[in-house]
Amino acid sequence: MSDVVARIDDFGKPAWIALMVIGFIVFWPIGLAILAYIIWSGRMGCGWHGTRGDIERWRERATERVNRAAARWERKRTRWEGHMQHWRGHYEHGLRPSGNHAFDEYREEALRKLEEEATEFRAFLERLRAAKDRAEFDAFMRERRDRQPDAGSDQSSQPPPPQG
C-alpha cells in the first residue's frame, strides 16, 4: 500500500485530486475515504500537519498581528483623547466650535464672565436670605422679651420653665 501512496505522491496534488474525483464517480464512499485520507495525512498541505516550527511561526505572526492591532488602537485612543481635551472647553457649555478661533475665544470669555456674575449673584442672594432670616429672628426675640414682663405678674400661677 505504501508503494501506491509513494507513486501517487510522485505525481503530486493533482494526482490525489484526480483519484478522489474518480473515487466519487465509481462509488461515493471510496471518494469520501480518499478525501478523509488526503486531509488526515496532510497531503494537500492544509491544516495543522506542518512541523512544530511551522506552528510556532504561525503563532508568532498571530501574536505580532495582535500586538500591532493593539498598538494601533492605543494610538487612536490617545489621539481621540487629545481631540476631546482640546474641545472640552467648547463642549462644557454645550457649544460646538464655530470654526472661527477668535470668535470661539470671545464666546468662551463672555461665558466665563457670565458664570462669574451668576456665582456672585448667588452669593448675594444667600447673604440677602441670611440677613432676612437674621432680621426675622431678631424681631421674634424682641417680641418675646417685650411679652415677658407682662407675663411676669401672672408668673406665680404658672409652673417655672424647665431649665436646660
CB atoms within 10 A of CB 50: 14
Give residue 91's pLDDT.
Answer: 56
Q: How far apart are CA 96 and CA 110, in angstroms?
A: 15
- Please say if the pLDDT value at position 47 is more than 80: no
45: Cβ contacts below 8 Å, ≥ 6 apart: 13
Per-residue pLDDT band for 39 (boundaries 50, 70, 90) equals confident
Kindly report the number of other CB atoms within 10 A of residue 34's CB atom.
Answer: 20
Q: Domain ranges in the chain?
A: 1-48, 60-97, 102-147
pLDDT at residue 58, rounded to an integer: 82
Give me the mean pLDDT over the 80-103 stretch: 72
Query: pLDDT digit string (tens) for 99-146?
Result: 888 898 898 899 999 999 999 999 999 999 999 999 999 999 999 998
CB of 8 closer than 8 Å to CB of 19: yes
Alpha helices by DSSP H, listed for the chain, are 2-11, 13-26, 28-41, 52-92, 101-152
CA torsion angle 63 65 68 74 (round to 10): -80
